Amino acid sequence: MKLKHLFGFLLINFLYSAIAHAEIKIGVVTSSTGPIALVGIPQKNTIPLLPTKVGNEQIRYIHLDDGSDPTATVVAVKKLISNENVDAIIGPSGSPNAMAVLQFIAENKVPLIAPVGTSAVVLPMTEQKKWVFKTTQNDDLIASALLDHMVKTGIKTLGFIGTSDPYGENWAKVVAEEASKRGIKIVADERFQRQDNSVAAQSLKILATQPDAVLIAAPGAPAVLPQLALVDRGYTGKFYQTHGAALPDFLKLGGRKVEGTILAASLMLVVDQVPDTHPSKIIAKNYIDSYKKIYNSIPATFGANVFDAGVLLEHAIPIALAKGKPGSLEFRVALRDALENNIHEVPGTQGVYNMTPEDHSGFDERGRELITVIDGTWKLLK
């Protein structure tokens, strides 16, 4: 009889412990296959580096690959919400993919931390977009650095080519506004698909306008294609790239033809060249070292965007736990509120985050560096 009572006591305590320390489930959606796999692979590889415990609560990550297909992203997000009852989602990898899931995220009140390029996922702020947070610099922050450099170096005319998707379209809008403020005339405005193998027609149109410089807005490997096409056809002007080109494969695929390219991106590309006083330097170096230890390669900044999602969650989860249990609507709402209202001066690999109800990216000038390509390597432009 005593043994029976002891067993019952232990069972009750076990069940109580399981309820008291409910598992936090975070969905992760990446494009680790398909046309933007160069973006998605380092993001998938970063999952083992994310925090697995906050306080007494265990965190479990559930990863799904959308194959770079926005339709598959919607399916994955619905599965994570309906079948897994996740408390938040990190991802997806692509801007069109993220735009495709905004409605479902908002309807189910699940915070989404999106490591995508376009600021269209958080701007202009709406009831849907208030559930989205972004671990990449907004386009205007990067564009202003590039266009200020153009002004300083005497650029008067600019050719633009971007992907025909939310990333390229928003960049076209931002560049048009910022260039106009600075007296720079856009003489060519072209688009291409991420999966295109040739941009010959677009490059010829740009060449015909003889711009002083060309700005290419594309994420991942597609950023190389227009630059190679223009160089092969004799263009000798200056090339500018967005933070979408901030990956080692840009240098590998472009070779000598991307020498002298200028881009604005996070300090991660030149982490050993920035001052030790930069608040993000230590965390960026630690991330790079941890990634290299597992994969024996240097991660692209796209992976770091996922790492920073973990940093933000690590700060927000303790606050949310005081207001609700994992797996509940109360917890998800509290987590969203904590990400919006309690992320102040939080350093990540990409810069320092300061979230507000109006700004769900939270970067300032500490989140960008002007960088160029010299002898096949990234160099801080001073």
For residue 285, the model assigns a pLDDT of 98
Joined tokens for residue 215: 């700005």
Cβ neighbours of 152 (radius 10 Å): 8
For residue 382, the model assigns a pLDDT of 82
For residue 258, the model assigns a pLDDT of 98
Confidence at 18, pLDDT banded by 50, 70, 90: very low
3-state secondary structure at position 97: helix
3-state secondary structure at position 130: helix
Kindly tell me if the per-residue pLDDT of 19 is higher than 80: no
24-64 pLDDT tens trace: 999 999 999 998 999 999 999 999 999 999 989 999 999 99
Do the Cβ atoms of 36 and 116 come closer than 8 Å? no
Q: Which residues pair with 163 in a beta bridge?
A: 192
- The helices-and-strands tally (H runs, E runs) of the chain is 12, 15
Cβ neighbours of 19 (radius 10 Å): 9
* Alpha-helix runs per DSSP H in 47-138: 70-82, 95-108
Angle at 74 (CA atoms; ends 291, 128), nearest 5 degrees: 95
> What is d(CA 373, CA 45) in angstroms, rounded to the nearest whole number?
26
* Alpha-helix runs per DSSP H in 47-90: 70-82
> What is d(CA 9, CA 22) in angstroms, rounded to the nearest whole number?
20
Give the neighbor-by-neighbor strand order of the sheet with 262-265: 185-192, 157-163, 213-217, 238-241, 262-265, 369-374, 377-380
For residues 183-195, b (16+ Cβ closer than 10 Å) or e, as one string?
ebebbbbbbbebe
- In degrees and rounded to multiples of 5, residue 93 shows phi and psi of -85, -35
> What is d(CA 62, CA 50) in angstroms, rounded to the nearest whole number?
12
Q: Which residue has the tokens 């949310």?
A: 320
- What angle, rounded to 10 degrees, do the helices at 301-321 and 37-46 form? 40
Confidence at 8, pLDDT banded by 50, 70, 90: low
351-382 pLDDT tens trace: 999 999 999 999 999 999 999 999 999 999 98
Do the Cβ atoms of 86 and 26 come closer than 8 Å? yes
> What is d(CA 142, CA 178) in angstroms, rounded to the nearest whole number?
11
